[in-house]
Structure 1
Amino acid sequence: MSANQRKPVLVAGLGRFGGSVARTLQRMGHEVLGTDVAADRVQEYADDLTQAVEADCTDMTCLKQLGAGDFEAAVVGIGSDIEASVLTVLALSDMGITNVWAKATNDKHARILERTGATHVVFPEERMGERVAHLLNERLLDFIDFGDDFAIARLTAPEPIIGVPLVTSECRKKHNVTVVGVKREGEDFIHAVPDTLIMPSDVLVVSGKIDKIEAFAALGD
């Protein structure tokens, strides 16, 4: 989908989470209507978004004035004010928006959001906490948890597989991880094949169960 085909998105709440989502969507080519009850936040994002408006999205009349019913997707980034978060999700759902993402601060908050119309609930603080914990392993450079204990990670090549091709090191058979690709300094990313020779400075992209990836990263320690 090209940039000019990307659907507009309404973002309610321009705090750290909502503001980050809004700016990223804008960079991706979406038209973004950002709203917040705080005038200073609206001013902060005025030059970064298609439109930034001081508005209370718990109010149906306000949403109608904003044309919220024309949006197919919305993000509710309100976290600290749980009542406002829930009422905003409910109002957006009542406006007929079928794709509503909402930030939750705990499990109880998440259950209420789901029952009031949120189609996707995220826990940004919790997910970041998990990610930081995994990255404390010095060999892991990046880490994405896909659920069901499956992840993709970027890591420095473990010493035992350096200097040999992947077909010899048998990472999948011996360590239950798949080497997806290799990034070498000054060179383009390459997709891994059996004959790929792993060099000392290589950074690997691997997939597999989280515990297997962590054990693989620690080989030779």
Structure 2
Amino acid sequence: MPYQPETPRKRQEVDPEAVLVVGLGRFGSALATTLDSLDRRVLAVERDPDLIRTWSGRLPLVEADATNPEALEQLGAREFHTVVVGVGTALEASVLITGNLVDLEIPQIWAKAISAAHGRILRRIGAHHVVYPEYDAGQRVAHLVSGKMLDFIEMEDGFAIVKMRPPRELHGFTVAQAAVRKRYGVTIIGVKAPGVPFQYALDDTRIDAEDVLIVSGDATLLERFAARP
């Protein structure tokens, strides 16, 4: 009988808004509940009986072992555009689950790592995005406690956005008069006066002591600017 090649598996239709969250520890549960509150289609996968009891009825939840590729197939993982692997401390499970998702050709795989070495392995096997929740949180808090910053978000290549109180030298001046881009290399992009929403910063926007600023630029320059009295 002549050889008959296997018929390629037809890929299931992918919901671009759907997110599958694997693991309901602190990171995974916070992510899943937030997505659920935003009315995103979310499905959580967990195998720990205690966590299943905790979250059953509070989240769309499937009891399954995601280290088993057949279990992922059966729960419909291929239908999800984005899968987040919230398993971190169990390194072998994290790697196995991520590898299974790569084999399923999931369009966007996010994976939690607990160390740089762990993150490198996840990237090598095909994770599209690797996150370090503990490291990122510690770095963010370090910035917040070191100056007038109320919030700090660092992007790629050292670019960051901060929410902060204005230094005294800016009080009573407009954005144009303050000239912070020329003097400090950062850009004021928003100003919030008490009791009103944030406004885009225009040249004639006045800055007062009670205001909150949104400022963007190089993270090091922002730190210096936020440290001014």
- TM-score of the superposed pair, with normalisation by structure 1: 0.92
Question: Among residues 214, 219, 225, which one is paired with 1:216 in the alignment?
Answer: 225
Contact 1:157 1:200 in 2 (8 A): yes
Question: Among residues 26, 41, 48, which one is paired with 2:36 in the alignment?
Answer: 26
Contact 1:131 1:144 in 2 (8 A): yes
Q: Which amino acid aligns with 2:88?
A: G
Q: Distance in 1 between matches of 2:94 and 2:172?
A: 54
Question: Among residues 14, 25, 29, which one is paired with 2:24 in the alignment?
Answer: 14
* Equivalent residue, structure 2, for 1:207: 216
Q: Distance in 2 between matches of 1:218 and 1:91?
A: 47
Identical positions, percent: 44
* Equivalent residue, structure 1, for 2:93: 84
Contact 1:6 1:29 in 2 (8 A): no
Question: Among residues 171, 185, 189, which one is paired with 1:162 in the alignment?
Answer: 171
Structure 1 window deviating more from structure 2 (200-209 vs 36-45): it is: 36-45
Q: Distance in 1 between matches of 2:197 and 2:62?
A: 42
Q: Which amino acid aligns with 1:19?
A: S
Q: Which amino acid aligns with 1:154?
A: K
Q: Which amino acid aligns with 1:169?
A: A
1:59 and 2:59 equivalent?
Answer: no
Q: Distance in 1 between matches of 2:175 and 2:77?
A: 53
Task: Describe the superposition over 1:147-188 as per-residue Cα deviations: whole angstroms up to 9, x where unpaired.
Answer: 212100000011001011121111111111111011111112
* Equivalent residue, structure 2, for 1:45: 55
Contact 2:147 2:223 in 1 (8 A): no
Contact 2:81 2:107 in 1 (8 A): yes
Q: Cα RMSD between the aligned structures? A: 1.4
Q: Distance in 2 between matches of 1:29 and 1:6?
A: 14
1:192 and 2:201 equivalent?
Answer: yes
Q: Which amino acid aligns with 1:163?
A: G
Q: Which amino acid aligns with 2:18?
A: P
State the shift of 1:36 in Å. 1.2
* Equivalent residue, structure 2, for 1:75: 84
Q: Distance in 1 between matches of 2:123 and 2:220?
A: 31
State the shift of 1:34 in Å. 0.4
* Equivalent residue, structure 1, for 2:144: 135
State the shift of 1:6 in Å. 5.7
Q: Distance in 1 between matches of 2:18 and 2:197?
A: 34
User: In 2 relative to 1, CA 136–209 (structure 1 residues): closer, same or farther, beyond 3 Å?
Assistant: same
Q: Which amino acid aligns with 1:7?
A: E
* Equivalent residue, structure 2, for 1:108: 117
List structure 1 runs of 4+ shifted beyond 6 angstroms. Answer: none
* Equivalent residue, structure 1, for 2:4: none
Q: Distance in 2 between matches of 1:17 and 1:216?
A: 32
Q: Tell me the secondary structure at the aligned position of residue 195 of structure 1.
A: coil
1:147 and 2:156 equivalent?
Answer: yes
State the shift of 1:194 in Å. 0.8
Question: Among residues 109, 113, 126, which one is paired with 1:117 in the alignment?
Answer: 126
Q: Distance in 2 between matches of 1:13 and 1:86?
A: 13
- TM-score of the superposed pair, with normalisation by structure 2: 0.89
Q: Tell me the secondary structure at the aligned position of residue 78 of structure 1.
A: coil
